[in-house]
Amino acid sequence: MKVEVDVMTQKIGLYTKSGDGVWFGVACDDEKVYATSFAGDEKSALKSLIACLPFDREFQVFSALSTFAERALGSVKSVYDGKGELEPVPLATGQLSPFSRRVLEVTRLIPVGYVTSYGALSEAAGGSPRAVGGVMAANPFAPIVPCHRVVKSDLTLGGYGGGWDFKAAMLTREKRCDCSPREIPVGSKKLRVYPVELALEKVGTRG
């Protein structure tokens, strides 16, 4: 007799792992990631994960990593280190609005070594630059969904949850010495992206 398990009754696992002085966190089941985080200590990494979880799902903190959690944490650290995702992991976005899902999907297309603006992102994903900024501020999948690669229209860095200096440091690790803007296909539209060096040249301009 085949027994089907209702995924909505499964607990979401919370996992953390430290590396190079940073704690990385992931909230996931065996198939999808519900949230990711990184922080200076384990408690803060877990707190960030919990804040992003669906309100109707139980969760449990595990000390031993599952195979899927190990894979997801590897990608989180790789992006943090400026190397991009090791292997894309599926994200659980069902609790988000269709607009938020769309913006996050397009944001994930920004390549390592490039940035885009809130305006360019809104043109490719829909909505206004302000609405896009709201989705970036609430992004539960940082840095896998690389909201740190979204900057202001003049390519100054703008804000970031981890702080302006932290955003600059993350982008500095992604420098690839590529001097050519690109256009990323997004359905019938295109997302304009710029070499991260252009944004880093403006690090003296805050705001």
Share the mean pLDDT of the chain. Answer: 91
pLDDT of residue 163: 72
Rounded distance, CA 98 to CA 108, Å? 15
Bin 82: left if φ > 0, else alpha if -120 < ψ < 50, else beta.
Answer: left
Q: Are residues 75 and 110 in the same domain?
A: no
Q: Is 58 inside a domain boundary? A: yes
Per-residue pLDDT at 150 exceeds 80 = yes
Boundary-marking domain end, from 80, 110, 140:
80
User: Is residue 147 flagged as an active site residue?
Assistant: yes
Of 112, 113, 91, the C-alpha closest to 103 is 91
Q: Is 1 inside a domain boundary? A: no
Q: Are residues 24 and 71 in the same domain?
A: yes
Is the separation of the CB atoms in 183 and 155 below 8 Å?
Answer: no
Looking at the 3D structure of the chain, how many domains does it have? 2
Q: Is 85 inside a domain boundary? A: no
Higher-confidence residue: 191 or 161?
191
Lowest mean pLDDT across 31-40, 52-61, 119-128: 52-61
Q: Are residues 160 and 193 in the same domain?
A: yes
Tens-place pLDDT, residues 25-39: 999 999 999 999 999
pLDDT of residue 207: 45
Is the separation of the CB atoms in 191 and 110 below 8 Å?
Answer: yes
Structure tokens at 196: 């991260």
In this prediction, residue 57 has a pLDDT band, given cuts at 50, 70 and 90, of: confident
Q: Is 2 inside a domain boundary? A: no
Rounded distance, CA 69 to CA 72, Å? 5
Model confidence pTM above 0.85: yes
Which residue among the candidates 28, 147, 177, 179 is catalytic per the annotation?
147
Lowest mean pLDDT across 38-47, 126-135, 158-167, 190-199: 158-167
Task: Collapse the DSSP code of 182 into the 3-class scheme (helix H, G, I; strand E, B; otherwise coil) and give the result.
Answer: strand
List the domain range (segments joined by +) for residue 68: 7-80
pLDDT of residue 204: 59
Q: Are residues 146 and 65 in the same domain?
A: no
Q: Are residues 106 and 194 in the same domain?
A: yes
Q: Are residues 71 and 134 in the same domain?
A: no
Residue 47's contacts (CB-CB under 8 Å, 6 or more residues apart) are none
Q: Are residues 63 and 109 in the same domain?
A: no
Q: Are residues 17 and 58 in the same domain?
A: yes
Residue length of the chain = 207
Boundary-marking domain end, from 25, 50, 80:
80
Q: Are residues 29 and 114 in the same domain?
A: no
Q: Is 88 inside a domain boundary? A: no
Rounded distance, CA 150 to CA 101, Å? 16
pLDDT of residue 53: 93
Per-residue pLDDT at 2 exceeds 90 = no
pLDDT of residue 56: 84
CATH code assigned at 102? 1.10.10.10
